[in-house]
Structure 1
Amino acid sequence: MSGLVVVGVDGSASSLAAVEVAAEEARRRSADLRVVHAFLWPAMHVPLGASPLGPPDGGLRAMTERLVTEAAARARSVAPDVEVSQAVVTGEPLTVLEAQSRSAELVVVGSRGMGGFVGLLVGSTAVHLAAHGRCPVLVVREQAVPEGPVVLGVDGSAASAKAIGFAFAEAELRGADLVALHAWTGWNAPMPAPQDERAPYANEPGALAAGEERLLSEALTGYRERYPDVKVRHETVHGGAREALIEASRTARLLVVGARGRGGFSGLVLGSVSQAMLHHAHCPVAVVRGGDADGDV
């Protein structure tokens, strides 16, 4: 049975870019592609048919069907071998796409839609879906660097394990290198045991950095063996995670982050680093939730 990639469309240039990316993602996975439009107007009791004074193929419903048909045609032109279906589903976009994510292995959306306001860097649907979707969500922002690596943000939290597995799989699918990046500061690094009991706050120079390098290596344990063809580069950066990941995204073909990680607050469904990537990264961003059991979803 083929897997399923879902892409949300609304007729905007951003969503059409998402359709092209989604078609490529489906092709890589040998998966089917479903093009979905959330049709909100029936719930608002707006007339959907053609006006008696207008053309017979006018009206919101006909316009919506054309929109989805054109998006599906765009997908087929990008990936002719992919089985493409289309659906117009009555409902609010987040609710519709969250429901679609339950049967998908990936949902793809543009960073801005038809409802986007000038100055709003990322659409509310993209942010909320990244927090609530039941599968990884790929938000298409700027153009990826075709030969760049997959960049993975690693923080050592249990919730980030699914993001690590997803990033390795994506690098393998693309034939890309993987850069596993871990950023730390003196505020978020666990304090190693003191070397001298008489000086409880004293440690050898570089002890914090060495501990963070071990954290990164331990987080990746087992994945190298599972994905032996993926070339992995470790990068441990003393500095803010947001700044480090945004800079790394400049030369990446994909950035992968968890929905929430170390330092996340209970009840906060999308971490501040993940949100910052959706707003400011220079390449497509995949947000991978840790799972219902970890409390960050």
Structure 2
Amino acid sequence: MTRPIVVGVDGSGRSLRALIWAAHEAASRGRALHIVHVLAPAHEHAGTPEGHAWEVGQRDKGVVAEATAIAEEAHPGLEVTSGLPSGAPPAVLLSESQHAHTLVLGAKGMGGFGSLLLGSVARQVVGHAACPVVVVNHLTTGHHRIVVGTDGSPHSQAALAYAFQQAALRGVSLRAVHAWTRPGPHGLTTGRALDEAVRGHREALEEWLAPLAQQHPEVQVEKSLLEEDPMLALARASDRADLLVVGSRGRGGFHGLALGSVSHQLLQFSQCPLAVVRPHPARRSG
């Protein structure tokens, strides 16, 4: 069975942006779009007046109906399904990710239980999802460029593979950014040592890109080696991209952290949709 593009909606403006991005992605990939609106668990409604509970139920159904109509109108012929699962939003969305090709979220919702807030919910989902997660803060088009951050870690290699696939699918160029800072407490590397460090980083970047460039010869690749804080470098680069792709965790940080500091900060500061990718064991095709 072909895995759908799954999008979480809550009726907010930012979840609408996520819906627009997800519908376009599904149509481009020839996949179904599955719209999810998370409901509060049944016990949350205990003691709620019947009339109020009915109004809430109608509003929830209206959110899904409106989202479905928008997707179908924008992409006639697109297969659109929907669901109103109940539970804690992170748990529900992580469960959805088990059967999704890509999970798409808005960067911030309206507030309240059902919203997909840029905070603990987004961190838990992005850090543990079983598929790539795209967080849509700003919708951008016209740059014809995808930017990917790379540092040679398994997570960034997974991000590179995803970015090359996206660039090939969209027929756009790919800018691979490897940002680094000088070693030592004060960054004192100079002269010959600095030249050697730059050469080493450049050779490493070439090595990381070579296999995927051979697999996707149609993708024009720009190699960008920057001596700069990785988060700042990628945030700046996102201003001229239609999609920024990163691994959920890089070489820095502790192995127990599900979401690295760079990825976490970019959830807020990326100027274009942000795809966060984790390496996973082989899954069933689709």
Same fold per superposition (TM over 0.5): yes
Deviation by residue 1:191-242 (Cα, 9 ceiling, x = unmatched): xxxxxxxxxx984551110100111111112101111111101000011101
Rounded Cα–Cα distance in structure 1 between residues aligned with 2:9 and 2:204? 40
Deviation by residue 1:50-100 (Cα, 9 ceiling, x = unmatched): 51xx8xx94222221111111111111122221000100011111111000
Using the TM superposition, name which of 154-163 and 265-274 deviates more. 154-163
1:49 and 1:60 in contact (8 A); partners too: no
Where do residues 34-45 of structure 1 align in structure 2 (5 Å cutoff)? 34-45=34-45
Do the aligned partners of residues 43 and 134 (structure 1) sit closer, same or farther apart at CA in structure 2, a change above 3 Å counting? farther
Give the match for residue 66 of structure 1.
62
1:159 and 1:258 in contact (8 A); partners too: yes
Where do residues 87-166 of structure 1 align in structure 2 (5 Å cutoff)? 87-115=83-111, 122-166=118-162
Indicate whether 1:267 and 2:263 are aligned: no
Do the aligned partners of residues 50 and 19 (structure 1) sit closer, same or farther apart at CA in structure 2, a change above 3 Å counting? farther
Where do residues 175-214 of structure 1 align in structure 2 (5 Å cutoff)? 175-187=171-183, 203=192, 206-214=195-203
1:159 and 1:291 in contact (8 A); partners too: no
2:155 and 2:277 in contact (8 A); partners too: no
Identify which of 268, 276, 282 aligns with 2:271: 282
Q: Which runs of 5+ in 1 are unaligned?
A: 189-200
Give the match for residue 187 of structure 2.
none
Deviation at 1:157? Answer: 1.2
Deviation at 1:292? Answer: 6.6
Q: Kindly indicate which of the two structures has a greater share of residues assigned to helix.
A: 2
Identify which of 217, 221, 224 aligns with 1:235: 224
2:235 and 2:266 in contact (8 A); partners too: yes
Rounded Cα–Cα distance in structure 2 between residues aligned with 1:27 and 1:47? 43
Deviation by residue 1:17-71 (Cα, 9 ceiling, x = unmatched): 11111000101110001000111142313467851xx8xx942222211111111
Letter aligned with residue 239 of structure 1: E
Q: Which runs of 5+ in 2 are unaligned?
A: 185-189
2:41 and 2:88 in contact (8 A); partners too: no
Give the match for residue 221 of structure 1.
210
Give the match for residue 198 of structure 1.
none
Indicate whether 1:251 and 2:240 are aligned: yes
Rounded Cα–Cα distance in structure 2 between residues aligned with 1:212 and 1:3? 37
2:32 and 2:78 in contact (8 A); partners too: yes
Do the aligned partners of residues 48 and 41 (structure 1) sit closer, same or farther apart at CA in structure 2, a change above 3 Å counting? farther
Letter aligned with residue 263 of structure 2: S
Please provide the CA RMSD for this pair: 2.2
Do the aligned partners of residues 77 and 264 (structure 1) sit closer, same or farther apart at CA in structure 2, a change above 3 Å counting? same
Give the match for residue 17 of structure 1.
17
After TM superposition, the score normalised by the length of structure 2 is 0.89
Deviation at 1:104? Answer: 0.5
3-state SS, counterpart of residue 89 of structure 1 = coil
Give the match for residue 29 of structure 1.
29
Rounded Cα–Cα distance in structure 2 between residues aligned with 1:149 and 1:20? 19
After TM superposition, the score normalised by the length of structure 1 is 0.86
1:151 and 1:254 in contact (8 A); partners too: yes
Deviation at 1:143? Answer: 2.3
Rounded Cα–Cα distance in structure 2 between residues aligned with 1:283 and 1:236? 21
Letter aligned with residue 78 of structure 2: V
Rounded Cα–Cα distance in structure 1 between residues aligned with 2:158 and 2:71? 28
Deviation at 1:149? Answer: 0.7
Letter aligned with residue 23 of structure 2: A
3-state SS, counterpart of residue 182 of structure 2 = coil
Aligned residues: 273
Give the match for residue 194 of structure 1.
none
Rounded Cα–Cα distance in structure 1 between residues aligned with 2:17 and 2:32? 18
1:258 and 1:287 in contact (8 A); partners too: yes
Letter aligned with residue 14 of structure 1: R
